[in-house]
Structure formats: C-alpha cells, structure tokens
Structure 1
C-alpha cells in the first residue's frame, strides 16, 4: 500500500507526462480521500500556472446533457441548427483562456457523468488537448467513455488507498493541534479503516461529546466514540438496501464476530451468507483450519448494533452461544466467547464456564471483562474461585475501598491452606503495589505463613516476598527467597512466576544481566499456565528491560520493549505501560524527543489508573529525565514536582534513578556542581543496597557532568558488573581524569557501540573541549563535529558537556557554572545559596569571568552561553 505522499507524487508525474497518458483517474471507495487528493493536485497545478476547470458530477445533473459542466461552458450558441458543433464548442469553452502552462480539466465523481459529458472528456484526452483528472468510485457503474479512459490506457489509473494508521496520526494531530495518544489513533483507525469521511464523523462526534479530549497535553479517547446520525447515514448508504436474509447475516455478525462459516450458515442460511460476501458486506478469512466470516468494515457492526433492539440482541446472543456450545467450542477463546455471549442473553449461567472465561480474560489482560465475568460467576455460585477473580481484578481497577472489601470477603471464603495462601497473596499484592503499604503487606504474609500447616503450601508466600524484596531494593534477600522456591521442585506456576520476577530484579540491579535469560524464559512459560498471576508477565519483562538497559544491551532492550507493547497495546493499562517501556528504551538510546512523546502519552493515559503497579512512578522518572535532556527545563521541573508527589515505596529499587532524574534537571538549570553531588548521592544509595548496576549509571552520569573523581570506582565496577556499559563508562571516566582527549574520543566510540548515543556525544564533546584547550584545533574540530552529529541523532538533546562544546569560552568550569546561573536570572545570593559558598566568592568568580568575556551585562552572558533567559528557578528547585 502506498502512502498519501506517494500517491500525490504519482498524480503529479502523470499530469506532467509528455510521452504517455497525460492525466490520471483516481479510483477508490467512498470517503477514502479521492476528492482531497484531487484538490491537492489542483492546487499544485494552479501553482504551476495551469488554468484549472473543475466540475462535480451528481445524480441530479446526470439526466442533463453536459449537466456537470453547466457552470463552465457559458453560451454555446444556437445548437439547434448545428448539433454537430456541440462538443467542439464545449471543448473550446473549457480550453479558452489557457496560458502556456495549459489547462487542467477535472471531474469529481465522473462515474455520475451523463453520456455527452463523458464523451467530451474522452475526446479531450484522445486529442491531448488538456490534462485530465477524474475521480470515480470503485464498484459503481460508469459511462463507457469514462471506463475507456483507463481500460484503453489513455489515462493512468490510481487506486486511492485508505489512510494508513501513521497517516491518520498525522492528520489528527494537524486537525486537533496537538499530540494524539497512539492507542486512541489505533482505535479510531480500526473503526474507520482509514476512510477519511468516516474518520471525520467519528472525530467530530467524539470531540463534541468529550469522548475525545485533551488530558495533560495529549488528546485521547476517554470512552468509546459514539456513532453519530451522520455516520449512520453514510454507512447505511454504503451498505445499500439489504434483503431480510442478508440483514440477518449482518446482525448476527454485529452481535458477535468472527464466526465460523459452518456456524454462521447454520444460523442464517448459506445463500444469505454467499450473497453478503458477494456484495462486499462480509469478508471470509482462514484461521488455521477454520474458515471464518466477519463484517467487511467495523462500522457496519457499529451501525447495526445501534439499530438492533435489546430483546432482539439478547435473542441473537442466545442463539450464537447455544450454537457455539453445540459445536464443542474446543479452543481456549471459545470458552471466553461463549461466556461473554451468555452475560446478556437468555441462556442460563454456568458458574464453571464463567470462572474459566474470567480466568482467560485475566490471562489476556482484559481485567474489566474478567471482573464482569467474575461477578456473574459469584452470583451464579462460583464460590472462592469466582471471588478470587473479582478481588484480584478490583484490586487493579479500584476503587481502593471496594477492592479492600472484596479481598476481605475472599479471605473469609478460604476453606483450606491453598485458598488461605491465595487470599493472602492477593491482599499483599494489593497492599504493596496498589496502596503502597509495604509494611502492612509484609504483616499479611507473616500472619498467613503462621497459619499454614500443610507442607509446601506456603511456597507462594515466599515467592511473593522474593518479588517484593526485589522491587524494594533488597536484591540479596530477593535472590535467596527466589532460589529457595525455584529449587524446591514443587512450586506452583504462580509461585514460579513471582520468584522469577524477584530473581530477575536482583540480577538486573546487581549487574548480572547476563544471567537473567533462563529465569525470564521460565517465568514467561509459567505465566502461560498461571490462573491468576498472568499479569505479572509485565513486571517480569519490565525488570528484564531494566537489567538490559543498565548493562548497556540497549538494542535488545528496545526490541523487547517494542515487542511487548505490540502484545499489550489493546488491553486496559497495557497501552500506557507499553508507552513507558518504549519511551524508557528510546531515552536510553538517546532519542530524547521520541522518548518524550512516548512517555507523555503514557503519563496522560495512566492517570486514570492511579498508582496501579507503580507504573506512574516509573514513567515520571523517565519523563523528568527526558524533558531535561530535550531542553524543556520548565516541563522538567513540572514533571519533577509531579514525581515528588507520586513516589511509590513498592518500587524503591528505582529510587537511585529518581535521584538521577533530579540531577539532570538540576544540571539543566545550570547548577552542574549540584548535579554532580546528586549523582554521587544516587551512587551511594544504590551502593548501600548492593545495586551495582545503578552505581555504574550514577557515577558515569557524574563523569558526563565533568566529574574527574570517579575513574577508580568505575574501574573496579567494570570487573564486577557484566555488560558493555561498565567498561565503556570506566574508559570514559579514566580519559576524563587523565585529561586525554584522544582517549575520550575512543571512549565515545565504545559508548556508541552500546547504543548509548548521548553518552557518546558527551564524551566527544569533552574531547573537543580538551583538544581545543590544548590548541589541537584539527583534532578538536573533528571531535566537535562528531559530538554535533551524535547530538543530531539524539534529536537535538542538550547536556552540560554539549553546551560547553557548542559555546567554548575562556572560563573555568566553576566560572562557567556561575555565569550560567547568573544568566538565568539568579542573584548573587541565590547562586551562593545554591552552590553553598559565600556571596563574596560568587562576586570574585563573576568579576574574573566578566573580565575574560568583556562584559558585565547578564543578558549578554545569556547570549554568549546560548541560554534563553526566563524566570529564575525557585529557591530549592533541583535540590
């Protein structure tokens, strides 16, 4: 499928052809954008100086000879005496007044032309008297003279394709004037299938009723868009008049699709199904050994569902559910389909079916559906198993009070050790990651462990402790607990999955990412069989990505993040988590503006889920750092304030990265010395917890800020932490400490090999400064050019090192920092407070810097440093 830009280039080339056909036929279904594409081609022709004559054929003009051209022809004279002159005079009227660039004659909806108008167009093409552009609707009958235009190859024919999802994104952001959430774009695209006319109706209606609204700077669908009357009319026109039999086929599929051909024909009749397929209303596809039918366009179902009454819909669901049961429903998802159909039908509820279906929905990540099915199962008598699904789903979806009540009910229903442990795991999970009450969760686990009497029954409690310890920054305890579960030989799939999460967390942060693979695979395999913890696949993958990112395996981390997002983007909160994972890895690769886009989208969408799983906290850490690196200092401070308000104790292992986010914002403010101090604070925090991979990241951040004191520590860590990041960071720090520009440049190439382009840019920038300071101008310019190119690949990222290289000045690091703060509007007292020195010291540095720069004007400081002066940072910001 070609994109709209390629289609426009094709049209332009066809209209300029000198040897072949001169013009083009744009064909396509109603609403795909033929008229819009033709309008762009008309505008381009006008810019080239062509005279444009444009007509639109309609059903009302069709009975009139030359009706479509009535407004363009003027007075043609007395044709009663000279009928043979009608077409020549009409042609002359259309060609009159043409300049050297010629005439473009266009007809929209040319399939509606009367015979005489069609003949006129055909003759103009054959004579090559004008460039001709016409649009026709695919599948509609047209005059022979029109069809001859492409059948005889007199004109090129282009099948105009519906907009791609990316083109819909571009169009929506242009119309709405801002970033549109990708999950919302995907939903709209799936509904309209790229049809511009349908898209406009959907968007207009969604904006009008606030289903599509702007939240935290991102446009997103807060609820499904409604089918407007205008859209109903458009789709009804497309469907045409339906026989009663075909309407029955459409209605059955509108209630539930896809359906196997055998089942559908049994419900509606084979002739009706074949008729619906022949008319293009139903499409038939192969899924393994099954041949299935679905509606050819999603909006057919939307329109018919809006028209079907509740009683008829219930009757249809009952018939489909019964037919599915009669066929055996052998696939896993058949159970889910049957159960969903029975919810709003007249079929008697089967608690076993409802529980099995709810467990399947939970495995697929559709928690709202799992909750709905679970509640129905409770009413039908599903007991503890049904209540467990309700409690678990409510814990994720809230509200907290309701979830707490459901969990309490689950505990009361527990009849043996296995059910007691299951209830305790559910409650402790809820307390840790939903309510951030870690200490209370540990009490719940202790109390449950004290009550268990059956040997081995308490293994899931140990496994959950491993997972909690891993994410609390207790890697040694997490590893010990996880291994005791994994080596036991009798652990349940749920226990194995939780233990693997804890072990992978420990390996990730302690610098042993090379050992994660088998445990990730084992946990993922257990998740496929898990009845209640399948959603823990996400933290397992997120922890794996963290480990790969910290180790410097950035390509692998990015690939896994993209794959994960593709799998979860259609489930509640999955799209937002996917945005975080992709945004985090894009940031690690240095693509800062792309990262900001993903992370902003994730942040906006995750808001309605509150602190579920701690994903908001993780997203805010990455977003704060990304905004600082993208040069959006104000946005970074806003995100940092948001981050301070939403720290999640259940994800304490990320605290060093939170401190580093603060360090980057502080450095972006110009207080690089304080940024270095914060990087060391992050390293000390991580070191106390044994998170050596985070220590590497923090100390390397200090080196990127210009700290020459970390080389020895990083050299030691390079022998303790696996992966390419640690040795590359150690080499960078050693070169900086030795003031060796050549070694800095070599370190830049090593960092680039890991995929960390922004660190590579910093090392090259520092090399450029060192070489130029030593009057090695050729080497300095080479390094500076490399730094500039890498910064460009990082989408214009800004760092302290790049800022110095871009604006080399005869200042010491300290003088430059003080001048930078002064240029940002801080008073001498504020600078002194920020740097914890005396005002007199600041005055001395400013005096010497002013002498070197030849000015005392702080606005000129800003010009020299390339800083846009703004309001000064508030007291304490960045501290």
Structure 2
C-alpha cells in the first residue's frame, strides 16, 4: 500500500515521494511516541530497507523533535553525536548537564531521532539510554542489523520494554511491484519484477540502486506501455557492482574468502573448506544467509545466487580465480550437475584447460536445468560444425526457448538434413509446429522433413529400436500437412492413434499432453485434465519452453477448480533465476496472475497483468497462449468501457495465424465474440455466439456450452433455467458451479439462492451480482406467476423511460451509454431495473410491454 509523504532528507529524496508497503510500520512508530507504557522504538534492518525514510516521515510531523546521526568520525569522540546541539569544546564539567538540558528543554518529553545508532559512541548511548529509561525523552533509534561488533544498540531497552522493536524486512511482493512501476513509470512484466526481486531481495534501497545504475535501458524493453525483460542481456555496470560490495565489506577477510570460493565453485564440501581453513567462516556465512547447506547432501555448502554472487564472478581477479579453480579441481569431489556447469564456465573465464566434451556436457546440463543463459555462453565457444545432429538439436531447442528463433530453426534445419534417426526428425517437427507455423522459416519447410524421413526409410535408421521409425514420422507429417493445407488450428485429433505408441519421443508426448489437456478442459473434464497434467509433469525433469507451458496450463486448471492458493504458490516458486528463463516464463505467469486477479475481483490488477502478458508473449513468440491472453483482455476492456483498446486487441487477435498450437482457443473465440457484441450491440455477434453454442453442444464441449450460457444470461438478458441446469451437469469447475446454481435458482424463483450467488461472486463478477439482485427483487415483488405480466409505466423513472425508448429504437447498451454520456455499467443497471418493472426478460420484449402498459394507463 502506498502513502504520499514529503521529505527534506537526502534519503527520502532518493527513495521518491512514496512509501510502499510500510503503512503498518509507520503507524507503529507514531504509536510508540504516543504510548504511555514505553518511551519510543528501536528500528532495525539492513541498509536500504527504509529505516531512515520512515523515521524522517514521522520526524517531520513533530515540531519539537531533534534529529541526530551517528557516524564513524564522531564514534571515537565522547558525546560526539551531540556536537551540533551543544559546544563540545566548552566547560567539560558542565557538558553532560548542557546535553541533558538541550534534550529535555520542553515540558513534554521531546522525541529524539537517532539515525545510524550503531555508530554512536558509548557515552552517547549511555545518556540516551538513561533519559529514555526514566521517560524524559522519546527515543526513535535506527540501527543496521549487521553491526561491526555484533551488538544492536538499545537492545537492553527493548528487553526491558522501554522501547518497542520494529525489524524491517523485505517488502511484500505486490508492494514491491508497485514500487518498481512507480520508479519506471509504466506497467512491468513479471520477469522485470522477478529479476529485480532476485538481485535486490525486495530491499527498497537496493531496488533504487539497481534501477538507477544498472543497464536498464538495454535490459528492460518498452513494448506498448509495458516494460519487459531483455533475456539476452546480463550486464551490470560498475556502479551496481559497487553497491553489492557494500554488503561484501561487512564480512571478515576469512568470510570474504569463503564466500568467494563457494560462489566461484557453485558448491564446496566441508572437508575442502576445512582444508582451506575456511570452515568456521563458512558457518558464519550460513548463519547470515549468504551461503546455504544442501539438506539432501549434508556438509555441502552451496552458493546463494543473487547480485552479490554475480559481482563476485565478475570482479574476482583472474590470478586468484585460477588459483582457487586449481585448488577445487584437485580436490576430486563429486559436484552436482548445476555446480558442474558453474565450474566449466569458471574454468573458461580464468583460463583453465576445459575440454570441448566437458563444455558441451555442461551446456546441455545447464539447458536442462533452465540455466539457459549460461548454456548459451558455454556453447558460444564451441564450433557448431563439430557437433553431432543430436547436440545440434539440443542447442536449437535452447535458442528457440530464448527467442533466438532464426538461429534455432537454422540449427534445427541442419539437424534434420543430417539426422541419423527418425526420432530426431519427429522431435524437430514438433519444435517447428510450435514455433514456425506463422513464419514458415525459410530454412525449414514441410518438404525438408519429408525428404529426411524418406531418406531414413530408404537407408535405414542409425538408432534402430530406440525410438519411432520413419513410418511413424511420415504418418504424423501427413496429418500436419493436412492441417496446414486446411488452414485450421492444430488440435488433438492430429495425434489420434499415434500418441499411444510408447516409442514416441518426449517432445511429441509433451505437445500431445497439452492438446489433450486443452480438449479435456473444453469438455468439462477439469479434474481429469489436472490429473493428466500432473502425471505428465513428473516425466519431464528438465526445463524447456514446452514444460513451462505445461506447468502454466496446470495453473490454469487449478484456478478453474478454485484452488487459487496452489496456483499462486506455483506462480511464485522460481526453479531457477536465469535471466533468459525468467523472460520466457514472464508472459505465461502474467496471464495466470491476470486470471487470478479476475477471480478475486481485482479488475484493474487483471488488466495490468493482461497487458504485461500480451507484450511478453508477443515479444518472445509464445503464440501458444497469446490467443487466450488477447481474448481475455478484449473481454475485460469491453466490460470496463474502453472500446478503443478493445478494438486494438481484437485487431491483434485477427493477425494471429490460424494454423498454430493454441491453449483454450475455443474459449478465446467465445470471449472475443461476446466482447464485440458488448461494444457494438450488433445482433450478428449474438447469432455467432448461438452458432458456437450449437457447435459446442454437438461435439460435447461442455465447458464452452457453460461459458456461452453464462454470457447469454449476463449480456444478452436470456433466462433459460432448464438449459443452464442441463449444461452444468456435464462438467466440473467454477463456471459449471455458477451456471448450475444459477439455473436452479431461476427455475425455482429462489430469492435466497440468487442473493447468496450475488454475495459470493459480487467482488469478482459484479455483472452477475447485479443480475441476481435484480431478479431476486423481482421475484419478491411479483412472484413467479407475474413474470410475464408487464409492469406499470408509471413506475418507470424518467431515465428508465428514456432508455426504454432507445432500446425500442434498436440501440445497444454501449450506444445508449455514448448517447447519454454515462458508463455502460450504468446503462446495464437501469436496464435490469427496467426489465424488472416491465416483467420482461429480453430486449425485444420491451416494445410490447411498453405498449401494454400504456394501454392500461389510458383505460
């Protein structure tokens, strides 16, 4: 939560004019100065967490307060901190009295704010402690957590309950995002939040340093008002490294050596650290959170990846780095896969002899672990002409995942032309299906796959019995070619009869699983889709764009089942902090956050997340989820009355290639059709929606049927209780629950059930709540038997009569809102009340009801 503040201090000027996520802490500081049971507060925290800003904000609200600040110069002078308050060179015998008099010269206890209290001399601490203990002053002391001597000043007063204690930690995630957006001035994608969070540990001061002094102009890219992360840039400038060195300076020389060694090596065994004389120092670093111990492999010390570790790798002198490398290399330990990749790159940087095979193996491990950028740095030193087809394909996957699509597809093309087995060709075909339908890469076309498969069919497979054969590949290729010729989206039927062949390669099964899960979601088999996704996810123990999309589809399924907490946990868990991986996951995660915000009724947050998702997905060529993101955004923009933005989103959807792999494509078509109807009021969009309803009913797409039934009720004034109940009986999930309960309530004219629905879904679906409340009121006023009887014209307000005339004239709600100069939501509210009074259910019934009411009034 943000609060406007003003500040004259340098610290607050640097931090901006807003305090984020600290309202409760600010209130506690104010309360400590009013409390009759204490004499103030000790504020503790790392450098940059906002101690000074919070205290300065409180200080400026008090006219009689005193601000003093400890520093290393005055630390060696008795009472040195009071040099600006009294003359320290005056009579020494009266110095103590003059200080006390200056601090206590007001009738009420004066508030004394002490910044950097850990740098006070002992005599100054004594006098402030004594005055606070007897209540002669109110003390607000700010201290760093890690002090030179390990002692926190005034901690005894906290133990004696003289001072309250406030420990400032990292900012909450949402407040941190708000702070980043405030500093950058635009919406930020999830990847921007993730990378700044990772390097700053959500410390506000570090955030400001990173945004001011890193190469953000090349790292963060502006796309239509959204900052997205440039996953191909990892450079920090010297000033950012200087800031990281502030923390490194807090360590003893032995601790610095231990930290440097473990960071460079990735992990180090305890025995090795003891040999180097750094065992105790490593334990101190673990206690401080700078290193960690692997719980699965006791006595293994691991590096904590953050901006400090990056700084160490950048700035360690080559000579010392090589010395440490030779020492670790000679120890003969068994490093984890991640440590193997770190050490291979370390050896290349410091000039050690690293074989090509070791480098390739390290790069493949890094790619599998999601450490994509390190993998690219490793393979950059290996000539691709010496790689075999399978290695080429692995690196092609890496480049495609990191948005180097042309290079990735060039490598795929080379791999296909030199393929030694059909499995490699089929894997390459799946990659091409995911990435190149829209571009038809010049380096690779369907004919190239056919040529390769026919060659292998004729010459024989280089790995017989270890994968699919050429006949399998040709059957799949024929089906893909048919989809391309027909110009339709890729659906699960392409894999019918092929997906159960056990020899089918992993990428094939991955895509098949995604298409099957999407089909199950469309069919209302939400629980079954989740089971499929979870079982398949355990088969893939590596990070790739495909696995990433599988995880995100699982999150979408969790949300439909109302398991929001699990979905949030999945979205916030980061398996790796690689900048390229964070960039790739940004769009899918932002889309999930948008859907979460919609479920929680946070429409502004949802719109921001949708905008971020769309730009990240578009930039990183992740068309799989772009269709549903554009449709969700268009529908949301239409509901909040921003037609120009909705039209732009509609046009961007139209530019998508029809022949592609998409998540929830049918749902996307329903959302954008409804959105268009809301904006234009044209009957053809309602007709299109009803056509899609018939198609969905015919092929068993129960979730699409339920969605359309809900939209017809919300936006087209259709009340069809029996059809709603029938549709809801064929699936599970949130929308099935809503439509089923709604249908039963409407069928039974159950006011209590409608009211309960309105209360439950009011925050997330105000349009549903409004309809339910209006219908509940109508049922109470007229009873079931009067639903079609027509109300009295005299009951209508002037605005309702005006709107009824426009409805009779054929105007849509959007057109009425534009003509009357009000919001669409306002018109909808008037329309609901109008329908209730007239006793009608659809717009075309208004004219007849008005005529009937006028006739009765004349009679």
TM-score by length of 1: 0.74
Rounded Cα–Cα distance in structure 1 between residues aligned with 2:772 and 2:287: 69
Counterpart in the other structure of 2:143: 136
Counterpart in the other structure of 2:811: 818
1:134 offset after TM fit, Å? Answer: 2.2
**1:658/1:817 Cα in 2 relative to 1: closer, same or farther (>3 Å)?**
farther
- Residues 219-261 of structure 1: per-residue CA shift (max 9 Å, x gap): 4554667655555555545544988766543433343434333
**1:26/1:269 Cα in 2 relative to 1: closer, same or farther (>3 Å)?**
same
Counterpart in the other structure of 1:603: 614
**Preserved CA contact (<8 Å) 2:70 2:114:** yes
Counterpart in the other structure of 1:873: none
Rounded Cα–Cα distance in structure 2 between residues aligned with 1:751 and 1:591: 16
1:385 offset after TM fit, Å? Answer: 1.8
Rounded Cα–Cα distance in structure 2 between residues aligned with 1:359 and 1:810: 70
Query: Which of residues 74, 81, 90 in structure 2 aligns to 1:68?
Result: 81
Rounded Cα–Cα distance in structure 2 between residues aligned with 1:763 and 1:137: 52
Counterpart in the other structure of 1:392: 397
Query: Which of residues 476, 485, 495 in structure 1 aligns to 2:499?
Result: 485
Q: Please tell me whether residue 31 in structure 1 is matched to residue 48 in structure 2.
A: yes
1:763 offset after TM fit, Å? Answer: 4.4
**Preserved CA contact (<8 Å) 1:576 1:601:** yes
Rounded Cα–Cα distance in structure 1 between residues aligned with 2:802 and 2:102: 74
Query: Which of residues 191, 198, 201 in structure 1 aligns to 2:206?
Result: 198
Counterpart in the other structure of 1:435: 439
**Preserved CA contact (<8 Å) 2:213 2:237:** yes
**Preserved CA contact (<8 Å) 2:75 2:120:** yes
1:104 offset after TM fit, Å? Answer: 1.0
Query: Which of residues 328, 331, 344 in structure 1 aligns to 2:334?
Result: 328
Counterpart in the other structure of 2:261: 252
More relative contact order in 1 or in 2 (CA 8 Å, sep 6+)?
2
Query: Which of residues 592, 601, 624 in structure 1 aligns to 2:603?
Result: 592
CA RMSD of aligned residues (A): 4.8
1:576 offset after TM fit, Å? Answer: 2.1
**1:775/1:697 Cα in 2 relative to 1: closer, same or farther (>3 Å)?**
closer
**Preserved CA contact (<8 Å) 2:199 2:306:** yes
Rounded Cα–Cα distance in structure 1 between residues aligned with 2:153 and 2:726: 82
SS in 2 for 1:39: helix
Query: Which of residues 287, 297, 306 in structure 1 aligns to 2:295?
Result: 287
Query: Which of residues 388, 394, 419 in structure 2 aligns to 1:414?
Result: 419
Counterpart in the other structure of 1:799: none
Counterpart in the other structure of 2:35: 17
Q: Please tell me whether residue 216 in structure 1 is matched to residue 234 in structure 2.
A: no
Counterpart in the other structure of 2:753: 746
Q: Please tell me whether residue 695 in structure 1 is matched to residue 702 in structure 2.
A: no
Matches within 5 A, 1:38-77: 38-44=55-61, 46=62, 51-62=64-75, 66-73=79-86
Rounded Cα–Cα distance in structure 1 between residues aligned with 2:599 and 2:21: 31
Counterpart in the other structure of 1:579: 590
**1:448/1:750 Cα in 2 relative to 1: closer, same or farther (>3 Å)?**
farther
Q: Please tell me whether residue 523 in structure 1 is matched to residue 503 in structure 2.
A: no
Deviates more, 1:695-704 or 1:136-145: 136-145
SS in 2 for 1:55: strand
- Residues 832-858 of structure 1: per-residue CA shift (max 9 Å, x gap): xxxxxxxxxx9xx99x99xx9xxxxxx
**1:568/1:132 Cα in 2 relative to 1: closer, same or farther (>3 Å)?**
closer
**Preserved CA contact (<8 Å) 1:700 1:733:** no
Matches within 5 A, 1:451-530: 453=457, 456-458=468-470, 459=472, 477-478=493-494, 480-481=496-497, 484-486=498-500, 488-528=501-541
Rounded Cα–Cα distance in structure 1 between residues aligned with 2:567 and 2:614: 21
**Preserved CA contact (<8 Å) 2:751 2:780:** no
**Preserved CA contact (<8 Å) 1:260 1:291:** yes
**Preserved CA contact (<8 Å) 2:78 2:122:** yes
Matches within 5 A, 1:762-773: 762-770=767-775
**1:406/1:825 Cα in 2 relative to 1: closer, same or farther (>3 Å)?**
same
SS in 2 for 1:71: coil
**1:680/1:589 Cα in 2 relative to 1: closer, same or farther (>3 Å)?**
farther
- Residues 283-339 of structure 1: per-residue CA shift (max 9 Å, x gap): 45343223343568944434444433456546655654x358x2233x443444444
- Residues 258-287 of structure 1: per-residue CA shift (max 9 Å, x gap): 433334455x44368459749969545343
Counterpart in the other structure of 1:89: 98
**1:629/1:207 Cα in 2 relative to 1: closer, same or farther (>3 Å)?**
farther
1:567 offset after TM fit, Å? Answer: 4.7
1:205 offset after TM fit, Å? Answer: 1.1
Rounded Cα–Cα distance in structure 2 between residues aligned with 1:291 and 1:158: 34
Rounded Cα–Cα distance in structure 2 between residues aligned with 1:199 and 1:820: 46
1:210 offset after TM fit, Å? Answer: 5.3
**Preserved CA contact (<8 Å) 1:507 1:547:** no
Counterpart in the other structure of 2:856: none
**1:354/1:32 Cα in 2 relative to 1: closer, same or farther (>3 Å)?**
same
Q: Please tell me whether residue 627 in structure 1 is matched to residue 641 in structure 2.
A: no
Rounded Cα–Cα distance in structure 1 between residues aligned with 2:506 and 2:565: 28
SS in 2 for 1:573: helix
SS in 2 for 1:204: helix
Gaps of 5+ in 2: 1-19, 458-463, 785-795, 821-842, 854-859
Query: Which of residues 679, 683, 688 in structure 1 aligns to 2:693?
Result: 683
Counterpart in the other structure of 2:649: 639
- Residues 338-391 of structure 1: per-residue CA shift (max 9 Å, x gap): 444455454555555445444433433444444455565665944122111122
Counterpart in the other structure of 1:801: none
1:189 offset after TM fit, Å? Answer: 2.9
TM-score by length of 2: 0.76
Q: Please tell me whether residue 403 in structure 1 is matched to residue 419 in structure 2.
A: no
